[in-house]
């Protein structure tokens, strides 16, 4: 059983958290509030999954909406803040968010022309009741002016927020320092049970792009496992040190050889007992490979729900990771190709889980995840009778044998 630290630093089982997320999401959609219970039951043939939207007017408002919905009725003692202008620090932040049981908010790197931050960011902090904000990255990622603005911010009860900054000299070192902070906050962070034995796990992804790492965000949050970043062609010595310091014995290398080379994989294998590459032909297939692994031993995500975000931009997927991790649901990247079709790997996952998926959490507005994408996802994830063909899917086995 994975853990998540609660506001009282107790342990809570994930099914309870999943129910809380579903209830919060349904509360955010009043017309469907009375369906919160049935949405957790296996769908009947012909029954579409429940669509749970999460979108704001921009990436900061969307992240705030995701955060407050995930913690509706509970609040959070802390929030993790990362710049919404770049992806590396927020990718690493999922593990710290998990160790703290805290949502991830995105912030501009600097104050606006009026000397402020987006209302959505501060309103989310107030609504969550957070008393500490963990800023990820150095001054170039989140300026000192933003830090000071947060320190000066007071909640409705005139309580000032505490600010902690976790930083390194660059994105690779920051990710390593975030991993160490997660371990300091929760000594069992990253410890899971694989084959009946305790294992200390870590994810390793390229520091140069986002899709592979964001797909593993839910797993990093749910287990507190570090997300370490490295260059594509050489294992950074800072990653080597972190693997040793954190006593990692199981590593999941994310992405194909273009993302993380065979030389890097071999270097990880020299330092870690068990290493597994999670990859496919492209970012969409890799996200599905990660989703499938999260349903297996060590993570054991159930199949009741799934999150969907665009794989062409990073902001919504970054914020989605902790919310989905709290619900123990994977993130699938879904975008149409030039023919208006979803990636084949995503379609296969939706079809395979069609009679187990009861809800689909869609992150981002229609510019990010268009109506056609949403409709295709819901169609492919609809539970069908055994003798029905899935929309656009292959014919049944009997026909194939004739």
Instruction: Report pLDDT digits (tens) over 328-374.
Output: 999 999 999 999 999 999 999 999 998 999 999 999 999 999 999 99
Asked if residue 1 belongs to a domain, the reply is no
Asked if residue 110 belongs to a domain, the reply is yes
pLDDT band of 377, cuts 50, 70, 90: very high
Token digits for 191?
Answer: 């410890």
Q: Which domain holds residue 326?
A: 14-401
The DSSP bridge partners found for residue 105 are: 81
Instruction: In whole angstroms, give the CA distance from residue 71 to residue 167.
Output: 26
Determine the angle formed by the axes of helices 14-27 and 59-70, rounding to 10 degrees.
120
**Ramachandran angles phi, psi of 257, nearest 5°:** -65, -25
Asked if residue 5 belongs to a domain, the reply is no
Q: Which helix (H) or strand (E) holds 333?
A: strand 331-333
DSSP state of 233: S
Asked if residue 6 belongs to a domain, the reply is no
Q: Which helix (H) or strand (E) holds 284?
A: helix 283-294
For residue range 241-298, list pLDDT tens digits in order.
Answer: 999 999 999 999 999 999 999 999 999 999 999 999 999 999 999 999 999 999 999 9
Q: Calculate Rg over the CA atoms of the chain.
A: 20
For residue range 207-243, list pLDDT tens digits in order.
Answer: 999 999 999 999 999 999 999 999 999 999 999 999 9
Asked if residue 8 belongs to a domain, the reply is no
Q: E strands along 231-311, which residues?
A: 250-254, 274-278, 305-309
For residue range 4-46, list pLDDT tens digits in order.
Answer: 333 334 433 444 444 444 445 443 433 333 333 334 677 888 8
Report the number of distinct structural domains present in the chain.
1
Token digits for 59?
Answer: 């990436």
Asked if residue 9 belongs to a domain, the reply is no
Q: Whose CA is closest to 212, among 255, 250, 275?
A: 255
**Ramachandran angles phi, psi of 178, nearest 5°:** -65, -40
The residue whose two tokens read 């209302």 is 119
Determine the angle formed by the axes of helices 119-128 and 59-70, rounding to 10 degrees.
10
For residues 249 and 226, the answer to whether their CB atoms sit within 8 Å is no
Asked if residue 318 belongs to a domain, the reply is yes
Asked if residue 109 belongs to a domain, the reply is yes
- Going by C-beta distance under 8 Å and a sequence separation of 6 or more, which residues neighbour residue 192? 2, 198, 199, 201, 223, 225, 298, 299
For residues 63 and 106, the answer to whether their CB atoms sit within 8 Å is yes
For residue range 295-329, list pLDDT tens digits in order.
Answer: 999 999 999 999 999 999 999 999 999 999 999 99
């Amino acid at each position: 059983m994975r853990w998540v630290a609660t506001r009282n630093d107790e342990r809570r089982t994930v099914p309870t958290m999943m129910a809380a997320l579903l209830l919060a999401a349904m509360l955010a959609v009043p017309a469907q509030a009375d369906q919160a219970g049935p949405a957790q039951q296996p769908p009947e043939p012909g029954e579409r999954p429940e669509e749970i939207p999460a979108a704001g007017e921009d990436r900061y408002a969307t992240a705030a909406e995701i955060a407050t919905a995930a913690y509706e009725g509970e609040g959070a003692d802390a929030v993790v803040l990362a710049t919404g202008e770049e992806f590396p620090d927020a990718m690493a932040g999922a593990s710290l968010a998990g160790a703290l049981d805290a949502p991830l908010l995105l912030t501009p790197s600097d104050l606006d022309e009026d000397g402020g931050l987006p209302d959505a960011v501060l309103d989310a902090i107030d609504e969550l009741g957070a008393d500490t904000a963990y800023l990820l990255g150095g001054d170039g990622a989140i300026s000192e002016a933003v830090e000071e603005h947060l320190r000066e911010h007071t909640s409705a009860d005139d309580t000032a927020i505490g600010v902690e900054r976790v930083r390194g000299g660059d994105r690779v070192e920051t990710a390593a320092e975030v991993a160490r902070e997660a371990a300091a906050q929760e000594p069992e962070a990253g410890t899971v049970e694989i084959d009946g034995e305790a294992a200390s796990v870590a994810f390793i992804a390229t520091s140069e792009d986002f899709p592979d790492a964001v797909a593993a965000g839910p797993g990093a949050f749910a287990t507190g496992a570090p997300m370490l970043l490295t260059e594509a062609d050489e294992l950074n010595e800072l990653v080597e040190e972190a693997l040793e310091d954190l006593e990692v014995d199981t590593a999941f290398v994310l992405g194909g050889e273009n993302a993380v080379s065979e030389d890097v994989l071999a270097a990880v294998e020299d330092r870690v007992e068990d290493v597994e590459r999670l990859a496919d032909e492209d970012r969409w297939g890799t996200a599905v490979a990660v989703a499938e692994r999260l349903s297996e031993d060590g993570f054991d995500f159930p199949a009741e729900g799934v999150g969907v975000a665009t794989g062409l931009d990073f902001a919504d997927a970054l914020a989605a990771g902790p919310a989905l991790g709290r619900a123990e649901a994977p993130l699938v990247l879904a975008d149409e190709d030039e023919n208006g079709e979803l990636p084949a790997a995503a379609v296969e996952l939706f079809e395979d889980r069609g009679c187990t998926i009861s809800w689909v959490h869609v992150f981002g507005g229609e510019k990010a995840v268009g109506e056609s994408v949403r409709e295709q996802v819901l169609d492919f994830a609809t539970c069908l009778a055994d003798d029905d063909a899935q929309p656009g899917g292959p014919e049944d086995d009997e026909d194939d044998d004739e």
